[in-house]
Amino acid sequence: EPEVTQTPSHQVTQMGQEVILRCVPISNHLYFYWYRQILGQKVEFLVSFYNNEISEKSEIFDDQFSVERPDGSNFTLKIRSTKLEDSAMYFCASQDSNQPQHFGDGTRLSIL
């Protein structure tokens, strides 16, 4: 069965550094999402992406965050200047029309 693939599985970064989280959505899916989950807390929506542009973003998704689909297969989340509170699991999800969202295994981001 097709899967959403995320890399790396664990990223450790110094505060203030830039980090890029990578996702390969399921082929032919149209909608792409990033969510995050701080340890012990809810899964929170960050951003959705459709037709090569952001369709919705949350209050969390401020100017430090950006997303890109550079080559038609990868979907990336960039955090420009990381903060301690950015430490979380980051999940990518993709969706086909009228089907539920499927999640990748996540990237654990640890900011030191």
Partner 1 sequence: QKEVEQNSGPLSVPEGAIASLNCTYSDRGSQSFFWYRQYSGKSPELIMFIYSNGDKEDGRFTAQLNKASQYVSLLIRDSQPSDSATYLCAVNDLYQGGKLIFGQGTELSVKP
Report CA Rg, the chain.
Answer: 13
Part of the chain binding partner 1 (CB under 8 A), chosen from 11-19, 20-28, 72-80, 96-104: 96-104
Query: Interface with partner 1 includes 56 (CB under 8 A)?
Result: yes
Residue 78's alpha-carbon distances to 7, 86, 98, in angstroms, are 13, 12, 28
Beta carbon nearer to partner 1, 14 or 97: 97
Structure tokens at 13: 């970064």
Part of the chain binding partner 1 (CB under 8 A), chosen from 14-22, 33-41, 65-73, 74-82: 33-41
Part of the chain binding partner 1 (CB under 8 A), chosen from 20-28, 47-55, 63-71, 79-87: 47-55
- DSSP secondary structure code for residue 33 in this structure: E
Residues 80-112 as b/e (b if ≥16 CB within 10 A, e otherwise) read eebeeebbbbbbbbbbbeeeebbbbebbbbebe
Q: Which of 42, 53, 62, 70 binds partner 1 (CB under 8 A)?
A: 42
**Contacts with partner 1, residue ranges (CB under 8 A):** 30-31, 33, 35, 41-45, 48, 50, 55-56, 58, 89, 91, 93, 95, 97-106
